[in-house]
A and B are shown apart, each in its own frame.
Chain A
Amino acid sequence: MSKRNVSVNVEYLTRVEGHGNIVVDVKNGELKTCELQIVEAPRFFEGMIRGRSIFEAQHITCRICGICSCGHTLASIQAAEDAIGFKPSKQTTELRKFLLHMENLDSHILHIYLLVAPDLLGVKSFVPLINSHNDVVRRALRMKKACNDVCDIQVGRHVHPISSIVGGFTKLPREKDLDAMLKILYDMRADMTATVELAATLKFPAFERDTEYVGLVSDDAEYPMLIGDVGSTDGVRMNKKDYKKITNEFIVPHSSAKHAKLSRNSYAVGALARFNLNADKLHPKAKEIAAAIGLKPKCINPYLNTAAQLVECVHSLEEAIRILEDFKKNGVNLDEEILVGLNEKGNIPVKPGNGVGAVEVPRGILFHNYEVDEKGIIKKANCIIPTNQNVNNIEQDMKKLVPEILDKSDEKITLMLEMLVRAYDPCISCSAHFLDVKFVNR
């Protein structure tokens, strides 16, 4: 085994959002190359929104990714409002948190059921599961649709939400809307229980690598998703304005996604990072599930990001219900409904500034940063996507993993590498897309 040659070359990794390749080259048992290549066609969002109104920013940048478009919307709005000095109302903030929970739930369900479960059940995609595990696929699609239906009611649709804009919402939920959303979410609880039961039977590969985890942190009792400072499990804590000191981005030629590092060679963001930083703030029901599946902070097995997603699903469902129940009790102030367009009427005062949004989206912390002039025109933009922050960490994981599994077959090594990358739930369509394993030279 020790003198073995291995060459993995996965071109166009499947079941991930976006395009990427994995290249591994082992000669005489020694790892020569181990790269996660991002080959997605760059789309240059940061370049092309220059010259546009800050009131168009979220409409454009949410189109970076169809899966986390609500997350991009919220990070973009936060950066925009920060730049022009606008403070959202308490009601707006609560509704934004609600939207973020729906996004988290929707995305995690898609990932757990359609992208990861096929690996753990030993098939190539969810398509064969339609025959072998019909009830599971139906449940997945039912849960996915439930999240969508709630987003349809709240913001018009889940993919590229319509009514969530700078300043607030163009449409606010009426009593009947609250009832309709609550019914859907109450009904989802049974499917969530079944999801937890299924997940408890899945076997994840055993692999560990001590890692620095980064995400939002705060001093209050809430599991921070929308608002907070940026912190790490190595003890870093900074204001979101200093995000560049967190990400320290650098470019490598084999990837159109930029790489990031903080206290070590690399760091990780996402559900597992959030869990490791804030597990004590989860909803009690989510804590129960974590205990039941044996997930404890600090967990350093990247494959268990999927387990952390499961715990967050329970958290987001319960928190979403709580927010709606509060609105049922206290009412929604419909006078806050706004119409902004391009701010033709100057409803929202604008001043020049530099604003940062830092929001936890399903795959990890997302930064948007805009510099605007006195008319609210974007002069410079920067978006740092969770996957960009994770790519470097995935490579470090692969470098440790490959030598540990050299005794396995090519197929098994490839699968384990693909599963590792998929566990991070990479969203390569963000500013770049991703994934294929290339064994060079085995």
Chain B
Amino acid sequence: MAKPKVAFFDFACCEGCQLQVANMGELLFDVLGAIDVVEFREVMSEKGPDKIDVAIVEGSITTPHAVEKIKKIRERASVLIAYGSCATIGGVNGMKNNFKLDDIRKEVYGKDAKYFETIETMSVPQVVKVDYLVNGCPVYLPEFVKVLKAALAGLPYQVPDYSVCVECKLNENVCMYQKGVTCLGPVTKAGCNSWCINNGNICYGCRGMVSNPNEKGAKDVLEKYNIPMDLIVNKMNMYNKCREIDQREQKKR
């Protein structure tokens, strides 16, 4: 049986999630034994065929050109995986949506702003149908391998819809709120094995929000520790600003 043809594509992003692939070390040989990488601009000069089995897409959609390009990739690919926070939820690129586009273009490029076309940042699923999501900034490699296996076998993969706190408790970390700092763990999707908190930092919400956050519990915690709501909202907007596009669309319906 021919090996599935897999291609990597990137839009506005730091390419760190693609780099995570190179960070697999020699495990990469096992992965490459199972797939045929036909296009991967960051490390290959080869260009892939018209039809591909799996497209792995990193980055957010931020220009009109990108909208057209992602649609073409969708047409070429049987399966599309949104890879990393920029692709799955808009990620840090979404912070741009806190500002008026003209204002932010002028801030960075001054009188030459007109050369730099930009649109409201969107995640990949906000533009085309996506079959699998690998959240995280960067992606957590064990989860990516799981998703890739599922995609190749044609099986579904369910992103955990409980909070990072569940994994954090299992890792026996002391709660960040008890240490006097705010953390987005309570409202953020698990699956990263509480990576940041294990290393002494807080959760920034890079995997996206759980679909049914315990809002009352969160409010209780904020009250208990006397933390202003706008601080938390501002924090959520670091990775999750693009969710407002979905909220806007829902209201229209």
Contact = CB atoms under 8 A, between A and B. Distances in A.
A145 B180 contact: no
A159 B112 CA distance: 32
Given A162-B201, A344-B180, A110 B45 contact: no
A97 interface: no
A142 B24 CA distance: 9
Contacts of A213: none
A396 B180 CA distance: 54
Nearest to A148: B23
Given A44-B105, A46-B108, A130-B32, A342 B181 contact: yes
B15 A65 contact: yes
B93 interface: yes
Summarize A's interface: helix, strand, loop or mixed.
loop
Interface of B: 11-20, 22-26, 28-29, 32, 37, 40-46, 62-63, 65-66, 91-93, 95-96, 98-99, 103-105, 107-110, 112, 115-116, 118, 137-138, 176, 179-183, 195-196, 198-202, 204, 227, 231, 234-235, 238
A163 B66 contact: no
Contact of B115 (A114, A170, A251): A251
A132 B209 CA distance: 46
A14 interface: yes
A403 interface: no
Given A41-B66, A341-B182, A344-B227, 16 more contacts: A14-B42, A15-B42, A15-B43, A40-B12, A41-B118, A47-B96, A47-B99, A114-B22, A127-B44, A138-B26, A141-B28, A145-B23, A251-B110, A251-B112, A344-B182, A345-B180
A76 B134 CA distance: 28
Nearest to A146: B25
Contacts of B24: 141, 145
A12 interface: yes
A118 B16 CA distance: 22
A337 B200 CA distance: 9
Interface string A149-182: 0000001111110110100011100000000000
B181 A159 contact: no
B46 A144 contact: no
Interface string A394-437: 00000000000000000000000000000000000100010000
27 contacts: A15-B41, A40-B12, A48-B92, A60-B95, A63-B16, A63-B137, A66-B13, A66-B14, A66-B16, A69-B16, A110-B22, A114-B22, A124-B46, A125-B44, A138-B29, A141-B25, A142-B26, A145-B24, A145-B25, A162-B196, A162-B199, A162-B200, A251-B110, A253-B112, A256-B115, A339-B181, A342-B181
